[in-house]
Amino acid sequence: MRILKLIFKNAFRHKLRTFLTVLGVTIAILAFGLLRTVISAWYTGVEASSASRLVTRNSVSLIFPLPVSYKEKIRQIEGVKTVSFGNWFGGIYIDEKNFFANYAVEPRTYLQLYPEFVIPEGQRGAFFRDRKSAVAGYKLAAKYGWKIGDMITLKGTIFPGDWDFVLRSIYKGRDETVDETAFFFHWEYLNETLKQKAPGRADQVGFYMIGVTDPNLAADVAAEIDKTFKNSIAETLTETEKSFQLGFISMSEAIVVAVQLVSFVIIIIIMAVVANTMAMTARERIGEYAVFKTLGFGSFYISALIFGESMFVTTIGAAIGIVLTFPAAEIFSKQLSTYFPVFNVATETIYMDILASFLVASAAAIFPAWRAVNIRIADGLRRIG
Amino acid sequence: MDDTPIVEIRKLSKSYRRGNQIISVLNEISLDISRGEFMALMGPSGSGKTTLLNLIAGIDRPDSGTITVGGIDITALSETELARWRASSVGFIFQFYNLIPVLTAFENVELPLLLTGLSRKDRRAHVDMALRVVNLSDRMDHYPGQLSGGQQQRVAIARAVVTDPMILVADEPTGDLDRVSAEEILELMERLVHELGKTIIMVTHDPRAAKTAHVLKYLDKGILDAHPQVDF
- Of the candidates A2, A288, A384, which has its C-beta nearest B114's C-beta? A2
- Cα gap A196→A88, rounded to integer Å: 20
Provide, as residue numbers in chain A, all residues whose Cβ is less than 8 Å from the Cβ of B92. 294-295
Interchain pair A384, B87: CB under 8 A: no
- Interval B42-90: pLDDT, tens: 998 888 999 999 999 999 999 999 999 999 999 999 999 999 999 999 9
- Of the candidates B86, B96, B103, which has its C-beta nearest A296's C-beta? B86
Interchain pair B83, A298: CB under 8 A: yes
Chain B interface includes A4 (CB < 8 A): no
| Residue closest to A174 by CA, chosen among A48, A326, A318 | A48
Q: Quick one: pLDDT at residue B142?
A: 96
Q: Quick one: pLDDT at residue B225?
A: 78
Q: What is the least distance, in Å, from the CA of B84 to any CA of chain A?
A: 6
Q: In chain A, which among 269-298 make CB contacts under 8 A with chain B? A: 287-288, 291-298
- Cα gap A275→A366, rounded to integer Å: 9
Give which of B26, B59, B60, B84 to mutate to test A binding, by max A Cβ within 10 Å: B59
Find the closest chain A residue to B84 by CA distance: A296
- Cα gap A310→A382, rounded to integer Å: 25
Interchain pair A377, B107: CB under 8 A: no
- Interval B191-202: pLDDT, tens: 999 988 999 999
Q: Do B62 and B25 touch, CB atoms closer than 8 A?
A: no
Please check the confidence at residue B232 and state whether its pLDDT lies above 60.
no
* Per-residue tens of pLDDT for chain A, all 385 residues: 678 889 999 999 999 999 999 999 999 999 999 999 998 888 876 777 777 899 999 999 888 999 999 999 999 999 999 999 999 999 999 988 888 899 999 999 999 999 999 999 899 999 999 999 999 999 999 999 999 999 999 999 999 999 999 999 999 998 888 889 999 999 999 999 999 999 999 999 999 999 999 988 899 999 999 999 999 989 999 999 888 888 877 777 888 899 999 999 999 999 999 999 999 999 999 999 999 999 999 999 999 999 999 999 999 999 999 999 999 999 988 887 767 877 889 999 999 999 999 999 999 999 999 999 999 898 888 876 5
Phi, psi of A339 (to 5 degrees): -90, -35
ipTM of the complex: 0.90
- Cα gap B71→B48, rounded to integer Å: 24
Provide, as residue numbers in chain A, all residues whose Cβ is less than 8 Å from the Cβ of B98. 287-288, 291, 381, 384
Q: Quick one: pLDDT at residue B228?
A: 63
Provide, as residue numbers in chain A, all residues whose Cβ is less than 8 Å from the Cβ of B54. 377-378
Provide, as residue numbers in chain A, all residues whose Cβ is less than 8 Å from the Cβ of B117. none
Please check the confidence at residue B32 and state whether its pLDDT lies above 80.
yes
Interchain pair B112, A288: CB under 8 A: no
Provide, as residue numbers in chain A, all residues whose Cβ is less than 8 Å from the Cβ of B87. 295-297
Strand B199-203 to strand B167-171: parallel, antiparallel, or no bridges (unpaired)?
A: parallel
Name the β-bridge partners of A331. none
List C-alpha distances in Å: B167 to A36, A241, B93, B171: 60, 80, 11, 13
Interchain pair A381, B94: CB under 8 A: yes
- Of the candidates A6, A294, A298, which has its C-beta nearest B92's C-beta? A294
Interchain pair B111, A288: CB under 8 A: no
Name the β-bridge partners of B73. B68
- Of the candidates B50, B107, B111, which has its C-beta nearest A295's C-beta? B111
- Of the candidates A288, A381, A385, which has its C-beta nearest B100's C-beta? A288
Q: Quick one: pLDDT at residue A252?
A: 78
Q: What is the least distance, in Å, from the CA of A9 to any CA of chain B?
A: 6
Interchain pair A384, B94: CB under 8 A: yes
Find the closest chain B residue to A285 by CA distance: B100
Q: Quick one: pLDDT at residue A1?
A: 63
Q: Which residues have C-beta within 8 Å of that of residue A340, sequence separation ≥ 6?
A: A38, A41, A42, A44, A332, A333
Q: What is the least distance, in Å, from the CA of B79 to any CA of chain A?
A: 9
> Average pLDDT of chain B?
91
Please check the confidence at residue B117 and state whether its pLDDT lies above 70.
yes
How much of chain B, in percent, has pLDDT values that exceed 70? 96
| Residue closest to A292 by CA, chosen among B114, B204, B77 | B114
Interchain pair B83, A384: CB under 8 A: no
Q: What is the least distance, in Å, from the CA of A295 to any CA of chain B?
A: 5
Q: Tally A–B CB contacts below 8 A.
A: 63
- Interval B166-217: pLDDT, tens: 999 999 999 888 888 999 999 999 999 998 899 999 999 988 888 899 899 9
Interchain pair A296, B87: CB under 8 A: yes
